[in-house]
């Protein structure tokens, strides 16, 4: 079959790719949820007074940041069943999406632990002391004074981490998960590897639109939640 560039393949492939965005969103959503929860725990360990907990949390972050996403994915996909097998548990039939979510949750947690830690430490601790001195309980001071400000500081880095997660999630096809990237590979295979450029361009357009939409969303959120902070500064 003759190989040539045909722009119509870009348009025609979009309707075939878009339905598989739900798998990409599912992976990203679950990874953000579990990764953020684990990130809070790691951040608390880093901020706390226990030296052992700090070493464990910082060690975890360093190891995960130094491990390429695809290597971590393969370690999870092949390693967990192998370990479970040693205990007589067969999990080879578990859906591939589970291993993908575990992988990116672990990776997202490492990034979020630093986002949460740096956001918390950027807030002047004098505000906590002032809040307690006027009658607020420590939990109320954190909930009403510290956390809202830390949330605003964390938003840009959280958005950047989410964008990275969306892009790194494309690696899921390497273990056979059929998300938007996996579907693109199937389309290219069905075309006998012709018009691959057009399919990848269609895929790139989808990722560009998603990235721009997420970036704009977080910019608007940052402006909305920063209003109260700006009022405090100007009064």
| Mean per-residue pLDDT of the chain | 89
Helix-strand-coil percent breakdown of the chain, rounded to 5? 85, 0, 15
Cα–Cα distance for residue pair 218/3, rounded to 1 Å: 41
Per-residue tokens: 228: 């109260």
Residue 233: pLDDT band by 50, 70, 90 thresholds?
Answer: very low
pLDDT of residue 234 exceeding 60, the answer is no
If 0-12 CB within 10 Å is exposed, 13-18 middle and 19+ buried, where does residue 169 land?
buried
Phi, psi of 179 (to 5 degrees): -105, -155
Average the pLDDT over each of 3-7, 136-140, 142-146, 203-207 and give the range with the smallest value.
3-7
How many C-beta atoms surround the C-beta of residue 228 within 10 A? 12
Q: Look at residue 131 in the predicted model and tell me its pLDDT.
A: 80
Contact 32, 106 (CB under 8 A): no
Diameter of the chain by CA atoms?
A: 78
Residue 3: pLDDT band by 50, 70, 90 thresholds?
Answer: low
pLDDT mean over 180-186 = 93
Question: Pick the residue with more confidence: 98 or 1?
Answer: 98
Q: Look at residue 203 in the predicted model and tell me its pLDDT.
A: 94
Q: Which CATH number fits domain 8-234: 3.40.50.720, 2.20.25.10, 3.40.50.1820, 1.10.3720.10?
A: 1.10.3720.10
Share of the chain above pLDDT 70, in %: 95
**Alpha carbon of 144 to those of 147, 150, 223: distances in Å?**
7, 11, 19
pLDDT mean over 192-218 = 92
Q: Look at residue 106 in the predicted model and tell me its pLDDT.
A: 96
Average the pLDDT over each of 77-81, 140-144, 149-153, 187-191 and give the range with the smallest value.
140-144
Task: Please write the tens of the pLDDT for every residue from 152-172.
Answer: 889 989 999 999 999 999 999
pLDDT of residue 117 exceeding 70, the answer is yes
Task: Please write the tens of the pLDDT for every residue from 11-67.
Answer: 999 999 999 999 999 999 999 999 999 999 999 999 999 999 999 999 999 999 999
- For residue 172, the surrounding DSSP H or E stretch is none
pLDDT of residue 224 exceeding 80, the answer is yes
Q: Look at residue 60 in the predicted model and tell me its pLDDT.
A: 97
Question: Pick the residue with more confidence: 137 or 179?
Answer: 179
């Amino acid at each position: 079959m003759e190989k040539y560039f045909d722009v119509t393949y870009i348009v025609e492939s979009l309707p075939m790719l878009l339905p598989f965005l739900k798998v990409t969103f599912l992976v990203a959503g679950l990874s953000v949820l579990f990764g953020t929860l684990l990130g809070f725990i790691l951040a608390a360990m880093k901020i706390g007074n226990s030296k052992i907990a700090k070493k464990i949390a910082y060690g975890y972050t360093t190891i995960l940041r130094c491990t390429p996403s695809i290597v971590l994915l393969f370690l999870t996909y092949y390693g967990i069943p192998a370990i479970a097998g040693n205990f007589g548990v067969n999990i080879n039939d578990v859906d591939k999406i589970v291993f993908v979510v575990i992988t990116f949750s672990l990776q997202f947690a490492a990034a979020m632990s630093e986002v949460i830690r740096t956001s918390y430490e950027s807030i002047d601790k004098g505000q906590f002391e002032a809040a307690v001195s006027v009658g607020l309980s420590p939990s109320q001071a954190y909930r009403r004074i510290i956390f809202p400000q830390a949330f605003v500081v964390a938003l840009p880095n959280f958005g950047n981490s989410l964008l990275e997660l969306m892009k790194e999630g494309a690696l899921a096809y390497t273990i056979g998960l059929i998300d938007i990237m996996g579907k693109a590979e199937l389309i290219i295979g069905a075309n006998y590897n012709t018009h691959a450029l057009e399919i990848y361009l269609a895929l790139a357009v989808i990722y560009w639109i998603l990235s721009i939409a997420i970036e704009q969303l977080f910019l608007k959120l940052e402006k909305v939640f920063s209003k109260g902070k700006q009022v405090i500064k100007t009064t």
